[in-house]
Structure 1
Amino acid sequence: MAAGKKYTGTGIPTHYECSLHGLLAKDHEPQLRTRLEALCGDTEAAHRELHHEISCIPCIETSIGPLRREDHVLRLRIELDPEDSLSAEKSTSSICLLGHPEPRSGRGASVRPIINAQVLSGSASASQLLSLLGYKFNSEFVRKGYWFLYRSSLKVVVSQIYRLQEQGNVQSVVPVDPSGNWLVQIVSEAMTQELVPRVCDQLEELKSLLEDYVELLVVDHAFLENKIPYS
């Protein structure tokens, strides 16, 4: 068995996620898919997407003041089998923490810290773990669509977002956008800080290759702040 990597000093290094986002009109989706097939492989290169994400917030509200910034939303991400969405055995779960995005405007992508931990014993155990950590349910959505992998590192997700009419029931979904528009996201693998400039360049390259089909943008960092929606 290979020895685990050891870190010294301040501990495990921070990893970052780089991303671009765009909105695609319903009528333009077939052309974008054809373009992605040409860039990433043939029709067999597309992977179906069925993603259930639950956001959780602390059970105890931190008093107003500087310490509130240390409160974060935790996300339970459940990847479901599109052929059998009710099968717990065919699903994979992870708990994700997205940090505050970089405010600098010079980047060619949105950049934010990320910690992602896979839960090996299913979504029910993940929910119990979040409860033990002092978190409670806040909101949820389902994402349906497909994704391609570009250059083995950039995931291009073309999907539609659904809300759940009944909490936790993925069979009760209805589209958030009845007009049928698609959300396009290009998301990198998590990486150390020194790799961020190179990955941003790769995102710019892919953005230019898709510019005739969809406008991909850097989301304003204010919209990506991981703030707790205390009422």
Structure 2
Amino acid sequence: MAAGKKHTGMGIPMHYECSLHGILTKNNEPQLRTRLEALCGNTEAAHRELHHEISCIPCVETPIGPLRREDHMLRLRIELDPTEPSNMEKSKNTVCMLGHPEPRSGRGASVRPAIYAQVFSGNAPQFLSLLGYKFHSEFVRKGYWFLYRNIFKVIVSQIYRLGEQGDIQSVQEADPSGSWVIQIVADASTQEQVPRLCEQLDEVKNLFADYVELVVVDHAFLENKIPYS
């Protein structure tokens, strides 16, 4: 059985994810990367990433009614070594639960609660199965990220489909035009920190305005609803 990280005297801590998103054209990606290198250090400041993310839903469908609101999709995020993607011994498994986003429209960023539990040993997919969850969908995210002011994680990545379930060697670009997804994320440990982080994110996005428009995603698109049908 898989083993998750333990927190003495308390449950797994919840964070509040504050984020902005945008779509970057293939032609603008080199200029944006140069800008990030100038803001965050140098070429060595970039961190390569390769994530295989699997979405899981409950095996047993909750009857239609108010209790369905309490159902949550879980995500198994498998962080792979970009130089050896098939070497699972170097992978890092994390179970993620992203809560319902704030419907409030006055924020300068999307805000939703998030819980992350790293799986340190054992079979992570089997662990989710024992929790009563089954496979729903998956994708691969490949790219890089920079850390700005030690607070804001700027993720620049491309999304890939999998031709065969679970086989990362069968990936295909989701967007043939070669566009990139940009996400700026900051985590607040308490609700009191959220307003200030949202204000700062609204300021940070102006640093990249020449290359990409970063926006607050409509909360309806971030809802953690279970697609039973």
TM-score bucket (shorter structure) = over 0.9
Residue 89 of structure 1: how far off its partner (Å): 1.4
| SS across alignment from 1:229 | coil
1:24 is matched with 24
1:168 aligns with 2:147: no
TM-score (normalizing by structure 2): 0.94
Pair 1:140–1:12, CA change in 2 (3 A): closer
1:94 is matched with 94
| SS across alignment from 1:200 | helix
What does the per-residue CA deviation read over 1:108-158, in whole Å, with 9 as the maximum and x for residues that have no partner? 000000010000015xx2111100110000000000111101111211111
| SS across alignment from 1:152 | coil
1:83 is matched with 83
1:113 is matched with 113
Q: Number of paired residues?
A: 223
1:127-142 equivalence runs, <5 A: 127-142=125-140
Residue 194 of structure 1: how far off its partner (Å): 1.0
Computed over aligned residues only, the root mean square deviation of the Cα atoms, in angstroms, reads: 1.4
Residue 15 of structure 1: how far off its partner (Å): 2.2
Segments of structure 2 that go 5 or more residues without pairing to the other structure are 1-6
Residue 5 of structure 1: how far off its partner (Å): 6.8
| SS across alignment from 2:158 | strand
Alpha carbons 2:188, 2:197 under 8 Å: kept: no
1:58-73 equivalence runs, <5 A: 58-73=58-73
| SS across alignment from 2:88 | coil
1:230 is matched with 228
My pick for the range that moved more, 186-195 or 210-219, is: 186-195
CA distance in 2, matches of 1:27, 1:189: 30
Pair 1:218–1:126, CA change in 2 (3 A): same
Segments of structure 1 that go 5 or more residues without pairing to the other structure are none
The amino acid of 2:177's aligned partner reads S
Q: 1:216 aligns with which of 185, 210, 214?
A: 214
